[in-house]
Chains A and B, each alone.
Chain A
């Protein structure tokens, strides 16, 4: 029974980490679209290259954080959460 409980904890952590990483897809697509539109804008007005690049860098940094949240959650779920949860389970059983 204990092995089953530990197995469920490990499986849930792995599943949660995998689901968290779905959020990692978004920033790549968003950044790609932002850069494509910036290329279009610079092509239309080459003199605005500096301000467009600055704004885009800041926008990309913000978009990137969403993926970073997902990555951090996934890694904590894989490397920290199982030990913590198994210890809680073992303490509860006594």
Chain B
């Protein structure tokens, strides 16, 4: 079995952390609105796991693709994207149709990686500033 690249592990860890923080906030919002139910937690677990799993699979595909020829890499990525979308579709159908998963808490965590990526430059800037401050 191929060893997972350190970059992929680091980025997946960052995304997982952001999904965890976002999920806690989501649960808190549902508690504050007085609409918390066990289905909210289960839906959140399903959506959060799917989001992190999707990112990890994408990272593993990228790791595999960068060692291939250009054309083959593009095809590998397209195939992986189609299969991952199908998988996410199945998970979403489960989350929407089964009564013990809340629809909204299944759907919302899937967008947490996007928010994490949007926040990434701020963290990078902070780290760079701290490093340059330490150097001087």
Contacts and interface: CB of A to CB of B under 8 A. Distances in A.
Contacts, number: 104
B11 A57 contact: yes
How many B residues are at the interface, by size bracket?
Answer: 35 or more
A45 B37 CA distance: 53
Contact of A60 (B62, B68, B74, B120): B62
How many A residues are at the interface, by size bracket?
Answer: 35 or more
A52 to B, nearest CB: 8
A6 B41 CA distance: 34
Given A39-B70, A64-B81, 19 more contacts: A24-B85, A27-B81, A29-B78, A32-B73, A32-B81, A33-B74, A39-B65, A53-B63, A56-B62, A57-B59, A58-B11, A60-B62, A61-B55, A61-B113, A65-B114, A67-B81, A68-B111, A75-B89, A75-B96
Given A24-B85, A27-B81, A68-B111, A39 B73 contact: yes
Interface of A: 24, 27-29, 31-36, 38-40, 42, 49-50, 52-54, 56-58, 60-62, 64-65, 67-68, 71-72, 75-76, 79-80
Contacts of B77: 28, 31-32, 34-35, 60
A53 B7 contact: yes
A57 B69 contact: no
Contacts of A54: 7, 11
Contacts of B81: 27-28, 31-32, 64, 67
